[in-house]
Amino acid sequence: MSHPNRLPIASPTDLLAAVPHLLGFHPTDSLVIVGVADTRVVVASRADLPPPADVADWVLDIAPSQIRMLRQAAASVAIVVGYGPATAVTPVMDTLLPRLSAAGIDVFDALRVTDGRYFSYLCQEPSCCPPDGTAFDPHRSDVTLHAIVAGSHALPDRAALVASVAPTVGTARDAVTRATAHAWARRRALTAAAGRDGLLRAGDKAVRATFARYADDGVLTDDELAWLTVLLPIIAIRDAAWRATDALPWHTALWADITRRAHPPLAAPPASLLAFAAWRRGEGALAAVAVDRALAADPTYTLARLIDHALRAGLAPSVLDGWPHPGPHTP
């Protein structure tokens, strides 16, 4: 979503309704940390809850990156939310909250969400935080309505987010596989006729045409997509596409479409560019699953590993403010 920090959050119920739109999906068995500066949500992260026996090591591993994330986003306070049963969430809260406090992080509230109710670990007032929790429905909220009107649609869970960038199947996959074989033959012929300079010119043309097409709400044909994906492994061409990629919504849509449809062995470059576009938009969950897709195609792919490092280090997208891009669809 373009401006998740503009959601009207005034209560725990509002925050819990906003979390799926901050992440892009409804979390389950998760720990979510939301950073707030003044009255604005500036960062949100999510991690799978560990088994109870692994909590100490898990917190030791995750706490430094979460603290860095909050500091780099200039968050003045944090809100910590655990999604799951008390047996899974409470040991994490008991171990993590003192670490955050010791690091100077002001925890405004710590909540557990279980079976449609939320419980506070910090509020002891029965009038606002009853011992049996407070019922809420994230689907029926003014915040949810506001987010939907603004164009945000939270997926049911993380598995649905992973599926949104998974390879296409069936006849669509077969068509791209055939088109990719033809594209490789075309690349070999062009290399023989015009050498590397010819490939670079072709790549520049393909990247320009791709951005122009998606800027006009179009998509590539199978042959056009296959041609682009056999050229993107050339670093200079990939970098031209990278320089043209920023935080516009259609940039994310562009690389998501190409990542899904690409011949799977060629997915590392477009999936890395999707991860970059998502990260620039503050969509860390989508960026993470795109990185996973890229590394599944090529575990050594440098750009994917670079973005993965940025995500794990908790770097805010603002570190790339001023990212050079000559125009909305001109690499």
- The total domain count for the chain is 2
pLDDT(50) > 70: yes
Residue 92 shares a structural domain with residue 180: no
- In this structure, of 59-73, 138-152, 281-295, the range with the lowest mean pLDDT score is 138-152
| Chain segment 76-91, per-residue pLDDT in tens | 899 999 999 999 999 9
DSSP string of 241-282, one letter each residue: HHHH--S-HHHHHHHHHHHHHS-GGG-HHHHHHHHHHHHHTT
Residue 146 — pLDDT band, cuts 50, 70, 90? very low
Residue that finishes a domain, picked among 99, 134, 156 = 156
Confidence band for 282, pLDDT divided at 50, 70 and 90? confident
The CATH number assigned to the domain holding 44 equals: 3.40.140.10
Q: Are residues 110 and 176 in the same domain?
A: no
The continuous run of DSSP H or E covering 223 comes out as helix 222-231
pLDDT band at residue 155 under the 50/70/90 scheme:
confident
310 and 192 both lie in a single domain: yes
Shared domain check, 126 and 71 = yes
Residue 76's pLDDT is: 86
162 falls within a domain? no
My answer on whether 10 and 136 are in the same domain is yes
122, 156, 190: which is the final residue of a domain? 156
pLDDT tens for 221-247 read 999 999 999 999 999 999 999 999 998
Domain assignment present for 161: no
The boundaries of the domain holding residue 55 are 4-156
Residue whose structure tokens are 């449809």: 261
Domain check: are 175 and 115 in the same one? Answer: no
Question: In this predicted structure, what is the pLDDT of residue 43?
Answer: 83
Both 126 and 248 in a single domain? no
Rounded mean pLDDT of 196-216?
Answer: 97
- Residue 310 burial (CB count, 10 A): 20
Co-location of 201 and 152 in the same domain: no
Q: Does residue 67 form part of some domain?
A: yes
Say if 46 falls within a structural domain.
Answer: yes
Q: Do 150 and 197 sit in the same domain of this protein? A: no
Reference 264, options 219, 297, 238; nearest CA is: 297
The pLDDT confidence band at residue 2, using thresholds 50, 70 and 90, is very low
**Rounded percentage of the chain residues whose pLDDT exceeds 70:** 88
Whether 328 is in a domain gets the answer no
Helix (H) / strand (E) containing 181: helix 170-215
